[in-house]
């Protein structure tokens, strides 16, 4: 059953039913346009709407954004990063390969994946200049995606990402988005719960990383539907809609199962800078410079 969750002067945010074929197809097209190789097809969105929830942002009945979410227990996520093979430690494990067939009807948290806005413009990877510097050689490998094809480069890229993750991830644009308060203070900012280095290896822009975050526990008084007199971004409206849905379901928390979307781009930029200015005060440049100059 369709559930109206948030209204703004120009947007409506509501759940989609599995039989809304045109809207489901539009959601899939948008997902694939924004996320590229990790975007999901129509059958996946139908399964999500059956097993969980697909929230759409609508502008004059046109789908301009989506967020998918499913119920699962919250406490296991606190242990996921430290337990090899834990089902919460990968995107496939927690989402059932995106189909949400792992949803738990009595779960106490709403896990949110793929906040997608039609207004978002993915930033391209920067051009890498020619030159023999080892930082430039590694930057070219990351920019071309060769680390996904060559074992030696894959090991090198994974080591670099592990060294730089603590520096970059808190500053990633996606983490900063979730960390901001929403709805004029209605919903506090999310905090990082755990970082999963091999959460989704095929997600090259994020260097295979997932980041589990959590918005503050929802009080009993949190609204089950929200009407805003001022416009918000599509992403902000989708998160508020997920919180309103969680409140309707009596759940304690809305938890983004997120990704550092700008990680690869930031590493390439830092490597290029390190090739000509290794003493830069930028923390990420310092980290990649230490990596390039270090053993092995």
- pTM for this model (two decimals): 0.94
**Residues 220 and 244 placed together within one structural domain of the fold:** yes
pLDDT digits (tens, 9 = 90+) for 214-259: 999 999 999 999 999 999 999 999 999 999 999 999 998 889 999 9
Structural domain total, the chain: 2
128 assigned to some structural domain: no
Q: What is the pLDDT of residue 295?
A: 62
Q: What is the pLDDT of residue 185?
A: 94
The CA distances from residue 277 to 193, 212, 273, 280, 281, in Å, are: 34, 34, 6, 6, 9
Q: What is the pLDDT of residue 137?
A: 95
CATH number for the domain spanning 42: value is: 3.40.630
The CA distances from residue 144 to 124, 141, 260, 263, in Å, are: 12, 5, 19, 15
**Residues 45 and 99 placed together within one structural domain of the fold:** yes
**Residues 281 and 233 placed together within one structural domain of the fold:** no
**Residues 142 and 257 placed together within one structural domain of the fold:** no
Q: Which candidate, 177, 203, 207, 194, places its Cα nearest to that of 284?
A: 207
Q: What is the pLDDT of residue 170?
A: 97
152 assigned to some structural domain: yes
**Residues 148 and 199 placed together within one structural domain of the fold:** no
Q: Residue 10 corresponds to which tokens in the numbers above?
A: 């120009």
pLDDT digits (tens, 9 = 90+) for 96-131: 999 999 999 999 999 999 899 988 777 889 999 999
**Residues 62 and 151 placed together within one structural domain of the fold:** no
Q: What is the DSSP letter of 204?
A: G
**Residues 76 and 186 placed together within one structural domain of the fold:** yes
149 assigned to some structural domain: yes
Under-70 pLDDT residues of the chain: 295-296
**Residues 90 and 28 placed together within one structural domain of the fold:** yes
Q: What is the pLDDT of residue 217?
A: 94
Q: How many CB atoms lie within 10 A of CB 43?
A: 12
Q: Which domain holds residue 176?
A: 4-123+168-261
> What is the C-alpha to C-alpha distance for residues 17 and 263, in angstroms, rounded to an integer?
34
């Amino acid at each position: 059953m369709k559930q109206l969750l948030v209204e703004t002067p120009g947007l409506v945010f509501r759940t989609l039913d599995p039989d809304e074929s045109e809207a489901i197809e539009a959601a899939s097209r948008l997902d694939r346009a924004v996320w590229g190789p990790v975007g999901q097809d129509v059958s996946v969105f139908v399964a999500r709407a059956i097993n969980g929830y697909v929230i759409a942002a609508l502008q004059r009945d046109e789908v301009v954004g989506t967020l998918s979410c499913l119920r699962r227990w919250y406490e296991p996520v606190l242990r996921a990063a430290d337990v090899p093979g834990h089902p919460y430690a990968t995107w496939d494990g927690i989402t059932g390969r995106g189909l949400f067939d792992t949803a738990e009807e009595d779960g106490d948290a709403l896990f949110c994946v793929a906040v997608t806005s039609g207004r978002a413009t993915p930033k391209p990877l920067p051009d890498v200049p020619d030159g023999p510097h080892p930082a430039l050689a590694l930057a070219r490998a990351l920019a071309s995606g060769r680390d996904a094809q060559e074992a030696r480069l894959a090991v090198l890229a994974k080591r670099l990402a592990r060294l730089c993750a603590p520096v970059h991830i808190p500053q990633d644009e996606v983490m900063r988005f979730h960390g901001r308060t929403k709805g004029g203070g209605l919903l506090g900012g999310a905090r990082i719960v755990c970082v999963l280095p091999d959460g989704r290896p095929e997600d090259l822009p994020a260097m295979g990383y997932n980041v589990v975050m959590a918005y503050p526990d929802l009080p009993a008084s949190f609204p089950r539907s929200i009407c805003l007199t001022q416009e918000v971004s599509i992403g902000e409206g989708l998160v508020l809609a997920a919180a309103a849905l969680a409140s309707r379901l009596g759940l304690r928390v809305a938890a983004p199962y997120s990704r550092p979307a700008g990680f690869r781009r930031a590493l390439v930029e830092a490597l290029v800078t390190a090739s000509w200015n290794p003493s830069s005060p930028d923390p990420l440049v310092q980290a990649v410079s230490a990596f390039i100059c270090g053993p092995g």
